[in-house]
Structure 1
Amino acid sequence: MWPEGYGKRVLAEIDSTNAEAARIAGDLAGPEWILALKQTAARGRRGRAWVNPAGNFSATLVLRPAEAPEVVALRSFVAALALFDALEEVTGTPAGLALKWPNDVLMNGGKVAGILLESLGGAGGHLAIGIGINLIAAPDVGQVEAGAVPPVSVLAETGKRVTPEAMLEALAQAYAARDAAFVTYGFAPIRSAWLSRAARIGEVITARTGREELTGTFETVDETGNLVLKTSEARRAIAAADVFF
């Protein structure tokens, strides 16, 4: 069942669902899901190209949050939990699923999905939550950054063939439930649920920011969404980085 209050549009082809979100945001009366069956200019984090074979999932939720920007940014955790819930539903099992800080979902240790948040129109404007899922096929390892988690697909890992439309139905319902909880109860229960599904917590990881590379034990995610890393020198809270295992 489609969640009440959320719009939906399914497009045969578009440059990017986040770009389409920016174009239509000002005309929307409420939150809207945009699903593209084909993208010609998909993007991931830091402007990287997102490889998107036919049959995979590419969608953006565009909404207008009421909170302060630092609270709005926590919706990356809301979206990650919703993705976990939806993938669990469509595959019939949570086995092998884990959440990788800041914006990825893993399946059997490989990256199966990614999330990209973009602010549209600055503070008080709209938010675009772009989501890509390797439903049918994963990019070749040579197409991803060196040292990154290898990509995997839902089909290869579970044997389940899921259509983008079916994935959207599950994801939209899961997101609506998680977002309602976030708005009502705040970040604390979202943080707790995310941590219980976190990949490599308590293990040594490497975080690369724009200025430095830090290696240490992944202790937790703090109350503002920062990655907390215990290095040989100090305990560091990291707001933004790429994480490598």
Structure 2
Amino acid sequence: MLEVKDLEVAYGKIKAVKGISFTVEEGEVVTLIGTNGAGKTTTLRTISGLLRPTKGSITFQGRDLTTVAPHEIVPLGIAHSPEGRRIFPRLTVEENLNLGAFSRKDKGIAADLEAAYELFPILRERRSQPAGTFSGGEQQMLAMGRAMMSRPKLLMLDEPSMGLSPLMMKRIMTTVSTLQQQGTTILLVEQNAQAALKRASKGYVLEVGKIVLSGSGKELLESEDVRKAYLGED
């Protein structure tokens, strides 16, 4: 579904991503793990068209995305739930969700809104409430629901559990599994490496802009290097 090949991205003279390559197959959960500054968020922003690569290519279902504008990428089937949620705080929950369908002209929007409410019942209960009054976990649910309103084939989640309580983190990660079961392919950036790898078909470990290790989620969970560096085990 997605192929990133020899991707390089720079901020001025500073290379943030240094020639990485990876693939995401339909139906998979693929995770990128690594410390802050490893290049994970930069990679997602480049796939979304928010940043332009200096070298390499990004191909989605056979189409080169390297020069495609962000607003044209969403209708192709890629949705991005960004780090920090980035909801619209003064708009209501339902207004935020409907903004996720901005590129659609089909008649299925109402049904997808109902599906978002089924996935996150709290959003239905507070559909008329300003989104800025939500807790961090509730805002994350809203951000994910908004991304799903574009009916994506590939959903990119950037640090969905950041700043959440352990209970809310577990709920968000369970939702990741639910979305995969419903047929959504997911590219997940997550600092909670253990939670991400437990759900991942495969994973890639990034360090200072380079992929240093890859394998199935199970293989990386069992890797001594990963356990020491990211799982806090000696």
Shorter-chain TM-score tier? under 0.3
> Taking structure 1 as the reference length, what is the TM-score of the superposition?
0.27
Larger relative contact order (CA 8 Å, sep ≥ 6): 2
> Taking structure 2 as the reference length, what is the TM-score of the superposition?
0.28
